[in-house]
Structure 1
Amino acid sequence: MQTRRQLLHRTALLAAITALGSLVPGAAKAAEPLRLRKIPSTGEWLPVIGLGTSRTHDIPLDDAEMQDLLKVLRVFVEGGASLIDTAPSYGNADRVVGELVQRQRARAQVFLATKVSATGRERGLEQIEDSFEALQTDVIDLIQVHNLQDTRTQLGLLRELKEQGRIRYIGVTHYVESAHDRLLEVLKQEPVDFVQFNYSVSERNAEKRLLPYCADNGIATLINRPFTRGSLLSRVKDTPLPAWAGEIDASSWAQLLLKFILAEPAVTTVIPATSNPRYMVDNVLAGQGRLPDERQRRLIVEAFR
């Protein structure tokens, strides 16, 4: 039985899709509930589809593209998603996210994740305080040490801020497979709530040790680069979607790629970046319906060879 909240999400998202027009095949299914998974350290539920902001949200606040980003946020929130991942190193993205959330009056509906990428405690604290101001919030849901920069110092600082109630969760990140062993060593030495790393059809190294370790040790995972910076979608842009995609309720190649990732139970949330409302609807759809079994995952891999 659907909850009142799910019903409201369905109704609101249908209105958003109607406003966008019939731009996405299968968009009528977007009124279904978004799949949720637990954050192991607390049991809090988190939607499996999030939003990355690298490149896509690095614009001036008075740029005309802010209107499209507002539409993206509307579809995102009304589709039941919540986690927005940003960083000071993404140019103006922290400030843009803060302004969008404020304009949409959506702070209570979003899970704000940013990063610290400084060296030294003083510089780290300065950067974090800047993020609080940019994001226009008194509490940040998650701050991550970006690309393992000065990890021990920054994690120590983040723990202090978490104890003060200013941060709800802490974590570490990287974006290349060559850093997975370093991530794993940090996870073994430093207690964190989240770890973010790359994982996709073409970058599967995380399956060997990183994902199993997170599953066994109760660490939430955020997945970046799900489309390998768009290169995977470029491979199939002129290729018809295979008929078997319907077996897992996928109506686009992007959905197949995201469902491939979500079929791994150790994945908490995947965070594709977009500035296109149509693509945001597509991403929300990937978080609904059936997920591929091992046979279907092999078919997806073969389709992108």
Structure 2
Amino acid sequence: MLPIHRHIKNVVNNYSEAEIKVREATSNDSWGPSTTIMNEISHMSYNMISITEIMRMLWRRLNDRNKNWRHVYKSLILLDFLVKNGSNQIALHAKSNIHTIQILEQFNYIEDGKDYGKAIREKARSLRELLMNDEAIRSERQKALSTTNRLDLVGFGANEYPPPSNSRLRTSPLHSDSFGQVSEYETAMPQSAIEEDLQIQLALAISKEEHEKEEQRRRTEQISEDTKLKLAMERSQQETNGDQASSGGALFSLVDISLSAAPASVPDPWALNFTVPSTSQAQPQSQASILDT
């Protein structure tokens, strides 16, 4: 059963059945994608519309970062499985966007001292090497087909493992309803080599366009974040300069106040204005005093 928040997102965003399957297989749950759901997605990859939806959601998940590292790791696991077990067009889609996988070889995320990026780096490296080796892809797909055939013989049935060809897909119970009517998946299957080639080219073009839109969105967000950071740094620098100017002005103001508060002249208590009589004036006074006596 899906967590309620994931179910709400699926409804709100109007995700298709294929997109919901990919989201479930690459969720943030602590367990890995089940073989059952990966096989269901593998079946869907033989449909032109579904393969576009599958790859679009996978590239979106592969572009997640940090705390959503499980999205990335599980997407690599699912993509590796689809290259080996799904439509052979999966490898073409992956090759056309191989730089996204190469970037993941540098993925880093450490939490509580544990490097969760190591498994992603190793898986991305092995997947890139596989995609660059057509012979290795053919060998892995042949091994997967042999395994599927052996398991079919012991009774697992076509519902559990991906079909090796379009003809098998058309007869698979997964793609027909209980009344034997043809499903939308079978209806959309190409009826000739020319039609199949046109569908492949269209699917690749749609996938490339969606990927370019996602890359453009990420670049725009990065530019926006860089601009915000630059503005914040400039504002901080301006505030720092303003604080320094204010403190300097306050200091000079205090000096001006202290200087202006000082009196123009301070009276000297020792500089009293005494008038000392001269000798010529004092002598007649003395003589008069003598005569009076």
TM class by shorter chain equals under 0.3
Higher strand share: 1
Q: Which structure would you say has the larger RCO, counting Cα contacts within 8 Å and 6 or more residues apart? A: 1
Higher helix share: 2
